[in-house]
Amino acid sequence: MGDRSVLAIVIFLVIVGLVLFVSFWTARRARSASGYYAAGGRIHWGVNGIAFAGDYLSAASFLGICGMIATAGYDGFLYSIGYLAGWVVALFVVAEPMRRLGKYTFTDAIDSKFTKRGLKLVAALATLIVSIFYLIPQMVGAGVLIQPLLGLPYWVGVVLVGAIVITIVATAGMTSTTYVQFIKGSLLIVFALVIVVALLVRGLSTTPDQGGRVDFYQYKTIAATQAGGTITPSDAAYMNVGQHDVTAKGKTTTFVKLQNGGTATWWKATVTDAGVALHETQEVVVAKDGTKYVNGAVASSTNKLREVGTIAKIEGQETAKTGSLNPFSFLAKIGSKNSVIDLWKNAKWTQDGETITVYYEVPTTGDTITKPGLNFKLQGSWLDRVDFISLMIALFLGTAALPHILIRYYTVPSQRAARKSTVVAIAAIGFFYILTLFLGLGAMTNGTINVLDNNMSAPLLAQSFGTFLFAMISAIAFATVLGTVSGLIIAASGAVAHDLLDRFAGLIKTERTKVVAGRIAAFVVGAVAILLGLAFQSVNVSFLVGLAFAVAASANLPCIIMMLFWKRTTSKGMIASVIVGTVSSVGIILFTPTLWEIYGLDPSTAPIQMKNPGIISIPLSFIAIYLVSKLTKRDQMAERYATPKTPAAVEAVAATVKD
């Protein structure tokens, strides 16, 4: 193990140790002061605002968005825009009323207006389902991080995060989770800024060498001729020993296997008016006997796929170094129609018992990269456009319905503090999301994309500035996962212990029992998260979060909005909304191409070809609450005059009666 690896591990252990120390220290203080429970509802709004950012800027925000921008350009940044826009809904509509109505959980807020057991049950189950959906990408992020940092397998990262977080949540609680999120949120924003500044100081180069740390690799292109469908290289050192066509979405790409000395590798052919050319690729071949070859030689710790990402032309110049750039000129130079960036795609097929995966360059002009369209086919079919609209709606409406965000409104003492902490969150999160565009484009042009997994683009970009930054960013990202997962498991265990066992079933007799139930729930939810994290390996975490947002926006948001703004809402309407929203969103997801691939089936045969369910499930949930409330309006009078449980609810009933 080299000195660089040791430094990375030491920094990683220090950051994770700091997180655990803060967690247990605050928990011990809490125990000595008031038994097991922490001092809830007393967090300063400034701390809570940054903790919001720490909670929200999850593995998806950091790893997924940067990875998606690095490989799909502006389309990844659309996630940043949508995630931030969702906070506007949280501030203007949800923050203060939720704080006023609730005590512990989202279900409490609903319960303060409607005292129906059935509603408590479905709201708690919805919280549980949304939390678990959101946990999946966090666990995937943990597994992805642990591989390059500690050299441990993916599953170890997933299990490690699960174990640490279960320990934090089961022994500590909300106060310690808040401070963990505050620390990691602050560190994440500061170090993301440090990397962006370093990136701008370095500028752009057509031969990126990571500050001299890695030799720039120039992929070869050789001329060829074509006769009778067979492509022959002009260079006599190479010989065509095989040829294969891959057709995807109506477009055929030809690959030629070239023998050079004792090595045979696959090259990609292009046929233009200027002639035929063969371009060097990267490849992974798994032979019949299971032996894995990378770029023509047996795979090993030293022979693995090269990281990629190059700007081949800067504003028309094929050999150029810009020197330091300001943020705007950095974006303008990459986005120029005369700039060319080499993106990477892959093709996979089986032949003679071998499984062949070829990764090849796709030169793309800068103006294509800095506008939407590479991932979302906005000039494609109507289904592609509907998918895009669906995602943007889910991101906009999902934030204000995420259980782990909603419970953070109960950690501050007043409505005003809830509002102010949301403003701080918007400032911190908005600033970070602007940085993601630079981080993603930086990875795209600095040769720091892992073709096997784009989720590592940001940490690898940090590595190009030295091991210290890599270790810091990776450790912070790992702490990010810890913080977010802690918040989610608290929300989920609260749904089980407080909402279901206590408020719904009445099984909790003492505060101590509730703590024990919470601990057991945290353990079970954590275990489920570990299993799902293992199942969803290699799926882009930002995409997975998009699904979680759709479920949250479908299950919870219509209830919150209608409860606050439509006085004729009935408890049966609310129950119908939660059920319809949850079932329709989860049901659609289960039949989408992404899940089909995870089941091991051909994605093109999935019954539902759309990727995000929001555009169907969110309106369905609104329609359900409207129609069922209309049909059950007789019950409403009884509900109006039901004994309110909190002073805020008294006020709410008084206002309703006045109307």
Partner 1 sequence: MLHEPAPEIHGVDEAASFKRRLGLQMLAGYGLLYVIFIAINVIRPKTMGVIVVGGLNLAIIYGFALIVIAFILAIVYNWMCTKHERSFENEGTVRHG
Residues 6+ apart with CB under 8 A from 644: 112, 113, 650, 652, 653
- What is the bridge-based pairing of β-strands 292-294 and 340-351? unpaired
Does 411 bind partner 1 (CB under 8 A)? Our answer is: yes
Q: Minimum CB separation from partner 1 for residue 399, in Å?
A: 11
The residue written with tokens 């490690």 in the block is 160
Does 437 bind partner 1 (CB under 8 A)? Our answer is: yes
Residues between 595 and 654 that touch partner 1 (CB under 8 A): 646-648, 651
d(CA 96, CA 289) in angstroms, rounded, equals: 63
Residue type, position 407, single letter: I
- Residues in contact with partner 1, counted by CB under 8 A, come to a total of 84
Q: Minimum CB separation from partner 1 for residue 552, in Å?
A: 18
Binder to partner 1 among 167, 221, 322, 336 (CB under 8 A)?
336
Q: In the structure encoding, which two tokens stand for residue 386, read together?
A: 């509907």
Does 392 bind partner 1 (CB under 8 A)? Our answer is: yes
Binder to partner 1 among 252, 379, 605, 643 (CB under 8 A)?
379
Binder to partner 1 among 16, 85, 452, 642 (CB under 8 A)?
85
Does 77 bind partner 1 (CB under 8 A)? Our answer is: yes
Q: Minimum CB separation from partner 1 for residue 45, in Å?
A: 10
Number of Cβ within a 10 Å radius of residue 467: 18
Name beta bridge partners: 18: none
Does 294 bind partner 1 (CB under 8 A)? Our answer is: no
d(CA 529, CA 132) in angstroms, rounded, equals: 7
Q: Minimum CB separation from partner 1 for residue 180, in Å?
A: 14
d(CA 261, CA 239) in angstroms, rounded, equals: 9
Q: Pattern of binders to partner 1 over 138-177, x per CB under 8 A?
A: -------------------------------x--xxxx--
Asked whether the beta carbons of 167 and 36 are under 8 A apart, the reply is no
Is 244 buried (19+), middle (13-18) or exposed (0-12) by CB count in 10 A? middle
Closer CB to partner 1, residue 162 or residue 487?
A: 487
Binder to partner 1 among 99, 279, 572, 611 (CB under 8 A)?
99
The span of 98-106, 201-209, 533-541, 593-601 binding partner 1 (CB under 8 A) equals: 98-106
The span of 51-59, 184-192, 342-350, 416-424 binding partner 1 (CB under 8 A) equals: 416-424
Helix residue spans in 207-341 (DSSP H): 327-335
Q: Minimum CB separation from partner 1 for residue 630, in Å?
A: 23
Asked whether the beta carbons of 148 and 452 are under 8 A apart, the reply is no
Q: Minimum CB separation from partner 1 for residue 367, in Å?
A: 5
* Strand, coil or helix: 207: coil
Closer CB to partner 1, residue 15 or residue 343?
A: 343
Binder to partner 1 among 185, 459, 483, 494 (CB under 8 A)?
494
Helix residue spans in 90-173 (DSSP H): 95-101, 106-113, 117-150, 154-171
Q: Minimum CB separation from partner 1 for residue 321, in Å?
A: 19
Asked whether the beta carbons of 552 and 132 are under 8 A apart, the reply is no
The span of 10-18, 235-243, 362-370, 456-464 binding partner 1 (CB under 8 A) equals: 362-370
Does 329 bind partner 1 (CB under 8 A)? Our answer is: yes
Number of Cβ within a 10 Å radius of residue 637: 10
Q: In the structure encoding, which two tokens stand for residue 590, read together?
A: 């289960």
The span of 212-220, 251-259, 273-281, 490-498 binding partner 1 (CB under 8 A) equals: 490-498
Binder to partner 1 among 193, 214, 434, 527 (CB under 8 A)?
434
For 533, 597, 599, 612, the CA distances from 602, given in Å and listed in that order, are 22, 6, 9, 18
Does 233 bind partner 1 (CB under 8 A)? Our answer is: no
Asked whether the beta carbons of 200 and 327 are under 8 A apart, the reply is yes
d(CA 444, CA 432) in angstroms, rounded, equals: 18
Residues between 22 and 51 that touch partner 1 (CB under 8 A): 34, 37-41
